[in-house]
Structure 1
Amino acid sequence: MTDTQDRQDEGGDVSADGSGSGPSSSPSPPDLRLRAERPRVVRLNRTVVWALGGAGMLAIGLALGYALENSSHKAPPAASQDTDVRPSADGLTGLPSDYVGNGVPKLGPALPGDPGYTILKAQEQGKAASGSDDRRAQQEVEAAIASRLFVQTGERDRAGEQTMPPAPGAPATQGRASTTTGPQAGNLAFLEGQPDRATTSPDRIAPPASPYVLQAGTVIAGALNTKISSDLPGQIVGHVTQNVYDSPTGRYLLIPQGSTLFGAYNSGISFGQQRTQIIWTRLLYPDGESLVLEKLSGGDAIGQSGLSDEVDNHWGQLFKAALVTTLLSVGSEAGTSQSENNLAQAIRSGASNGFSMVGNRLIDRSLNVQPTLTDRPGLPFTLVLNRDLVVRPWHVKGETDHE
């Protein structure tokens, strides 16, 4: 018995090429697909597409030709067509259409007091002089047409104004200044203005009001005793750091070192302001006597108005409000999806709008907070007199004035 027969006896099948496959071989696994089948490609016939395109183009051409043909054969409108047709009054229908031929009405004899006959007679007598009147009227009409009353040209106006002589008594540059236009007109008008003929001042030299006078411009040096914070209004106290002598001679001590200055500061600060406005209202001498200073403005050590030391613009508060607003808005918008229902979307939108409104209010309030200006104690300042100040000389106890 051959090998092939032995394999057949064992229940196997032999193929033509000698490889056998038994009847008990496992079936092929089922076709498992995780994706849906792709849509089949729809192919159009080129003949159908060309036929439809040709039919469409033919229809468009016929419609265009029909529209042009109708517009070319349209009858022109009547030239004298009256579009504003109004019904005439009943009383006018019985009147003649014109006064030519038989339509001229015949007038009866003149009534007593009728001036018509007198007017006609005056017209007949004035026919001889009417020729000259008509000629004069024609000349006036031609002059009015050629006049430049309503239409003026630049070149003719300039030529006319240049040739126009100046009025008697007026300055020679008045005409040129009035015709100058452009960005330099103001500068030329400034140069060509009327001269100031008041060559002598009416004021005269005035003697000093007193030997013990501090004249305008005298500088009083001092330093702050109290701290300034512009959050709230308040008073300030300073002291004089240098002796102040009289202005005419500089011999008499008028304000001793150590005198106390009393004043106030302005707490109204605008955005971007960096200097504190101060005024001095009273001067206290070491012996207890005082002098009112009438709100003299104070400056820094070099004479600039106001004191400048430290500025707090509250940027931290502003950035904190902006950060809180951003976090609230991001939290309300986070997690949005297209699958949520209308109620959830409405709640989320309302919360987002509310948080945005609150954040805007916080930022607005932070921007409305004015900067805080702080001036430390001991900061030097100056006080400049704006008018003459007459005081008595300062004497130390037990000493007399030696002039």
Structure 2
Amino acid sequence: MLAELSEWFWQERLWFPKGLGWADLVDRDGRVYAKANDLWVALPIALVFLIVRQIFERTVATPLASLLGVKETVRLKAPHNPTLECYYCNISKTPSQSSIASLCKQTGSSERQIQRWFRRRRNQDRPSLLKKFREASWRFTFYLLAFIAGLASLIDVSTSAILPLYFDGFFCTLLPSQYWYYMIELGFYGSLLFSVASDVKRKDFKEQIVHHVATILLISFSWCVNYIRAGTLIMLVHDSSDYFLESAKMFNYAGWRNACNYIFIIFAAVFIVTRLIIFPFWIIYCTWVYPVTIYKPFFGYYFFNGLLMTLQCLHIFWAILIIRIAIRFLTSNEKVDDERSDKDETDESEEEEEEAKDKKHSRKNGPMQNGHTVHNNNHRKTE
């Protein structure tokens, strides 16, 4: 049954225009073509990336964080309470007012104590600043090196030949630089998919999953049908702005506000040019409009361009967030914040700091009530 399914899946009429097939991608006359079996190489590469990442974060990212002054926020741990822990894990991390009242009766605690416990418990689950910095530094390093590697892999293609040849990839010979660029990119995105459960989760978590899956499918499909030049250019366009974003995050976590803001503006400009101009009006034109002048549309044509349009929709979604942040900074010089981050983390951390200050103040000035010092007016009366 698997053999029949494989035969149906790889039938030529699905993936090639009429008149072409797998026989045209057999190595001959010194020309080398991509082969589907090569994609298995990406799996061990993905595992190597996971190992290298752990080493990098411990030996490079952590010392770099210390050098840049990344400071951890001290988060108070919630005291052990089986009833509250059960509610937190099984029902909700943010209980309603009626639930708080019920928990007060069950535990004999005050409403304020219940709220404080849940706030501290949520903070315990949130990623630390150091973890965010290490993730950003790892991705910055890869995207920068990948961008340089992508440029190197395109040296053989002249600028005047880029537009028509980037889709006419059925007969393009595979270069060693393109082979390794493809395998490394595919392995990296595979490692991101493997580690997504342990990485910092943001508000666009679902969009990130869609992006990773669409990218892996695009890389794999373009490899199987030898769209090497188109795939190389698509990966290069994406890598061209990502390292700016990751470096802006690094400076943001380190508290270098000005460096973060200005790098983010550069990132926004590069992102808009590459993702909203070059990608749709150059690359998608090259894969959507140009091919129908040579071949009749086929399933692979729609499949490939459908994935590209999925990425373009994500580009528009992220561009809206980026433009909102950039406008806010340019008009009012506010601090650049990642709108995908969990805003509650900052708010609750600040409350913890305020509570710590209140306790410190109360030890110096006596008991407090509603945040104000309570003065002892019970003077001894003389009779």
Q: TM-score range by the shorter chain?
A: under 0.3
Name the one with the larger strand percent.
1
Query: TM-score normalised to the size of structure 1?
Result: 0.16
Name the one with the larger helix percent.
2
Query: TM-score normalised to the size of structure 2?
Result: 0.16
The structure with the larger Rg is 1
The structure, 1 or 2, with the larger RCO (C-alpha pairs under 8 Å, 6+ apart) is: 2
